[in-house]
Every structure is written in structure tokens, then in C-alpha cells.
Chain A
Amino acid sequence: MSANKRYGMSIDIDKCNGCGACMMACAVENNIPPAPEAANDRRGVTWIRVYKVDNHLAYPERRTAFVPVLCQQCGHDTPCVHVCPQQAVDVDPETGIVGQMPERCLGCRYCMVACPYHARYFNWWDPKWPAGMEKTLNPDVAPRMRGVVEKCNFCHGRWHAAQQKAAAAGQREIDAADYVPACVEACPTGALRFGDLSDSSTEVAQDAQRPESFRLLEKIGTEPKIHYRSRRDWVREIASAPRPEGKDGLRG
């Protein structure tokens, strides 16, 4: 058997221009239907979402940054795994990918509450595609139904395809170039990178070591595998989610 991987991503916030190509590529790859009329930020489904943040200063000091947020693939005490009463979430020891099993999910949404990153989404409606569009669905990803939770799984269909290709060549080890999630592939500025964090020669593993690198809510100790970085102090500060002023009574 091949050595276990720890797949992760590095995101250069200073390079992200907020274009949203990653969100679009993700939806197409993973058979996420166009949002119905009644969908909003809370009820729609976006496995990756680009948030806009600013430094709270008035013009001309105002600065804006875009932060793509997807499932952070927590590597330690993965909160969604712990709360699931159905064992519909597991962490693959081979890849480190946190897998969500819609066919096993009962829709209680504990995991959405537990997730510190709001990276999980609930299907409020059955998927509907405009006439003709169902012909463009990706056969490597099963569409989900109303009443279940879903989230990013690093384009698991592409992992299967890469494995299949390796097997055709008589190998169990995949070629890293064959496994790249859709969002990384689509990013026009190269802000997103993907690879095996346990292999110190990969770009992502090196990005994770940079001084300006950080992870979202690192202090809660879930060991997320998405490594952000920015040279701007205010961006790093926002990402560390300081306790709001005057809220000292809150537990944090």
C-alpha cells in the first residue's frame, strides 16, 4: 500500500482578487445546482465561498481582502466527526480527507453547528437543473438530495480518477499532477495551491512553513489543513478572530 497522505491547501490572500472562479468551478465539478430563488447566504450551497473583509478604516485608509473559505479538513478532534450521531462523517486515514456521506446523513445538522468555519451546507431543496443542463453533470460525483448536509471533499471524484489512471499503469501511487481540485485549477492568479502536506518537498508544505502563514482559528486546536498567508498585518489579525471588545464575559 502507498504511504499515507495528508492533503492540504495553501491560499495566498494577497493574490486573491475575489473573482469567484473557484466557486464556479467547484459548483460545476461537484454537481451543485444553480441556487433556487429563495436561497440566500445561509440556505444556498457553496462548498467554497469567497468572503470579503476590510480593515474597518474610512477612505483613504480603507483596505479590502478576499478570503476563500472551504472545509478546513481538520486533522485533530475533527468537530463534525465527533458530533455526528450517524457516523456519516469520517476522516480517511489514507488521504486525511474529511468525508461527508450524504447517503448516511439524516439531516440533523449538528455538524453545521459544530463546524467552526461554516463550511458545511444543508440541502433545503432537491437539486433542480435548468433543462439540458443535467446532461453536463459530472458522473464522478453523485448529486445529493433534499435534507442532507454536504461540503468540500477536495474533489474526491478526481482522486478516484487519478487512482484509476495509476492502476491502469499497474501502480498504486498516483501522479500528483493528476489530482488537483477544480478550484485550484480554475484560480487565475495562482492563489490556491494543493498537495501533500506530509511531503516536505511539495509547494504546499513549504508554503505552510512561511512566516506569514496562518490557519483560521488555529487556537482552537483542530489542526486545519488549509494554510492561509498574507503579508498584511491587519489581514492576519482579523483571521485570528480577536474577541470583540466589550464581550469579555463570553467564553472563548
Chain B
Amino acid sequence: MIGGKIAFASGMLLALAGGWLAFPRILYQTRQQPVNFSHKVHAEKAGAKCEDCHSFRDDGTYAGIPTLDKCSGCHTAAMGTTAEEKNFIDQYVTPNREPQWLSYAQQPENVYFSHIAHVKLGHVKCEQCHGNEGGTGALRPYQQDPISGYSRDIWGRPVAPVGLRNEGGMKMDDCVNCHRRQGLEYSCLGCHK
């Protein structure tokens, strides 16, 4: 009798755990970044500052992920011996081909977001929204909702809220929560276009 209950409970747990682990994998499609870029290596070995690669244009728009011409200056020839760097040079620098980076934070096309308002006027730190992305040693896989095509960062919360960042993503709720805390209220068209 007891044995049956234990068997049932452990079977149940196993099924739940399996679903817990497997379900997000089925739900989200995983894609690889074109180049294994390391923010850490560039900060440590090249002493590069965030603004060297992620800059504002004169009209206040954000240049975002840098284009190849920001990389070619240093990477015309290999500086190290890593396979990543050689691969990057052979595949992209030499043929002058832009890597098709996948942007984790990319919002749907109907969202308006302004970096300069947050960074320059609001003094919000990059980490507050992007977590430690700027200090990582390797790129995490990019997870995409196959139906909407949205990145998981702006859409899906992990089933278990373990290891969540402060804002836990970049969904509308996350934006609005921070704004409310600061006493800011924007109309729908404030953030949409």
C-alpha cells in the first residue's frame, strides 16, 4: 500500500520534473549567435569601454550592436591564438561580411524604446535592464518564440523564478513596474508606435 503511494509520488515527480525541464525547450527554438563574442576578453585584454562599441548617434538614436567596421581595426590579423578569433576573421573580417547578431532585448516592431532617455536623462545603468550581458565571457544561446519570433528575454519568464534579474526581463510589465516606482506614467503611445 505504502509502496504504491511512493511509486505513484515518485512517478508523478519524475513526470513533472521532465515536463519542467523539457517544456521550455519545446516551447522555444534555440539559435546560435554567429560569432562567439566575449565581452570579458575585450574588457580585460583590449581595455575596451562600452561606449567604444555601443554609441549614440548625434540625433540621439542608439547604434546598438556594433557593425563590422568597429571590429576590423583591431582584427585585421589575429591577435591571439583562439579558434573563435580565427573563425571570426576567416568568416567575417576577411570577406567583409556583417555577422547577423541576434539581439536578446529586441522588442516587437510596435515598441518605441529610447536608450538615451534612460541612460543620459534617467541615469539608469545598463545592468539594470540587461543584467550582466556586458561582462559575460561567452554568448548564451538565443531563445526564440517560434510563433511570434520574439526573443525569450522579452516574452517568456522561466517556469520557476530562480535566478531572475531584478526586472526579470523586458516585458511591458517590467517597463511599467520600473516607471511606476519612479512615479512616471506614460500613455500607450509613449512606448508604442
Measuring CB to CB, which residues of chain A are less than 8 angstroms from any residue of chain B? 88, 90-94, 97, 99, 101-104, 140-143, 153, 156-157, 160-161, 163-168, 170, 172
Contact = CB atoms under 8 A, between A and B. Distances in A.
Contacts of A170: 120-121
A156 B189 contact: yes
Contacts of B188: 88, 90, 99, 101, 104
25 contacts: A90-B188, A94-B187, A97-B187, A97-B189, A99-B188, A101-B192, A142-B110, A142-B192, A143-B109, A153-B189, A156-B189, A156-B193, A160-B112, A163-B114, A164-B117, A167-B114, A167-B116, A167-B117, A168-B56, A168-B59, A168-B60, A168-B116, A168-B120, A170-B121, A172-B121
B59 A93 contact: no
A99 B188 CA distance: 7
Select the residue from B56, B58, B109, B189 with max chain A CB neighbours within 10 A: B189
B32 interface: no
Contact of B59 (A97, A101, A142, A165): A165
B190 interface: yes
Select the residue from B58, B186, B192 with max chain A CB neighbours within 10 A: B192
Contacts of A102: 110
A102 B193 CA distance: 9
B61 interface: yes
Q: Label chain A's interface by main secondary structure.
A: loop
Contact of B193 (A93, A141, A165): A141
B189 A101 contact: yes
Contacts of B120: 167-168, 170
A161 B59 contact: yes
Chain B contact-residue range equals 20 to 34
Given A164-B60, A164-B117, A167-B60, A90 B187 contact: yes
Contacts, number: 67
A93 B114 contact: no
Interface in B56-79: 56, 58-61
A126 B190 CA distance: 25
A140 B60 CA distance: 14
Nearest to A157: B193
A61 to B, nearest CB: 46
Nearest to B110: A142
Given A142-B109, A157-B193, A92 B61 contact: no
A88 B189 CA distance: 10
B187 A92 contact: yes
Interface string B45-64: 00000000000101111000
Nearest to A143: B109
Given A160-B112, A160-B114, A163-B117, A168 B189 contact: no
Contacts of A157: 193
Given A142-B110, A160-B193, A172-B121, A165 B187 contact: no
A140 B58 CA distance: 17
